[in-house]
Amino acid sequence: MVNKVICIIPARENSKRIKNKNIIDFDGKPMIYWTIKAALDSNIFDRIVISTDSKKIANIASLIGIKVPFLREGLSDDFTPISEVTIAALKQAEQYWSENYEIVVQLMANCPNRNETNIQDAFNYFNEKNLESLVSCSKMNMLLPWWSFTIDNNRKPKYNFPNFLNIRSQDLEEAYCPSGALWISKSSKLIEHKSFYGPNHHAYPLDWFSAIDIDTYDDLKIAQLARVFKKEK
């Protein structure tokens, strides 16, 4: 049997900046709930896999509706690229279920505001354009990377783009930042390049709300406030 599309949700136990980040409360549910719900509601996946090293996270996922028959084998440190985690989970799934997957979609659990419509639209775009790889992103509306700088020990700034310092903000080109909300790749290309950032990858813009990555407590507060605001709007 050949299943074409697999969704992989990486969710390791340890997280440095927010303890138990993937299952911390977010809008009354464990954070991972919203990603699992979006994946299920999209109705495009033949298989949804939670890649975790945690029995607790596995049990929570099972209560939400996704069985976790195997745990992640290693790759739970702070240095392993997430693409390696997804490739390992892909190979585990193919071996466990004796299935082959043409397309892999990676959804990060720390992007709870991304929904099923975002996934469906990006997936349709990926197929319509016959892409090899796609990475979600959003506009950097609040910060201008063109005026960014580093600071030395004496607090002296070193500008990354000094040629742009005297250009008005409205005249600068729009800049985008990658989001972990959804990444899509042909499985063969992901394995070949060991990254979603292969030579032919494309960017897929999401609105700022849907693209929020939660990595710090400040991110968490912003995402929660944005969600409340959207409900009340």
**CATH no. for residue 62?**
3.90.550.10
How high is the pLDDT of residue 75? 65
- Do 226 and 149 share a domain, yes or no? no
Structure tokens at 19: 């303890």
Q: What residue type is 19 in one-letter code? A: K
Given a cut of 70, whether residue 225 has pLDDT beyond it is yes
How high is the pLDDT of residue 1? 46
- Do 106 and 213 share a domain, yes or no? yes
Proportion of the chain above pLDDT 90, given as a percent:
79
Number of domains forming the structure of the chain: 2
Output the CA angle 130-135-233, nearest 5 degrees. 110
Whole-angstrom distance, CA of residue 128 vs CA of residue 111: 25
Whole-angstrom distance, CA of residue 26 vs CA of residue 228: 11
- Do 205 and 104 share a domain, yes or no? yes
How high is the pLDDT of residue 169? 87
Please give the residue range of the domain that contains residue 165: 141-174
pLDDT, tens digit, 9 for 90 and up, residues 107-145: 999 999 999 999 999 999 999 999 999 999 999 877 788
Lowest model confidence (mean pLDDT) among 7-11, 13-17, 36-40: 13-17
Domain boundary among 159, 174, 189: 174
- Do 168 and 60 share a domain, yes or no? no
Whole-angstrom distance, CA of residue 26 vs CA of residue 31: 5
How high is the pLDDT of residue 228? 87
Given a cut of 70, whether residue 6 has pLDDT beyond it is yes
Whole-angstrom distance, CA of residue 119 vs CA of residue 140: 21
More confident residue, 78 or 113: 113
- Do 148 and 133 share a domain, yes or no? no
pTM across the whole model:
0.89
- Do 74 and 46 share a domain, yes or no? yes
How high is the pLDDT of residue 77? 64
Average pLDDT, the chain: 92
- Do 46 and 112 share a domain, yes or no? yes
- Do 104 and 40 share a domain, yes or no? yes
- Do 222 and 189 share a domain, yes or no? yes
- Do 148 and 201 share a domain, yes or no? no
- Do 192 and 223 share a domain, yes or no? yes
pLDDT, tens digit, 9 for 90 and up, residues 146-205: 999 999 999 999 999 999 999 988 898 999 999 999 999 999 999 999 999 999 999 999
pLDDT, tens digit, 9 for 90 and up, residues 17-42: 788 899 999 999 999 999 999 999 99
How high is the pLDDT of residue 233? 65
> Which is nearest to 11 in space by CA: 26, 24, 29?
24
- Do 23 and 83 share a domain, yes or no? yes
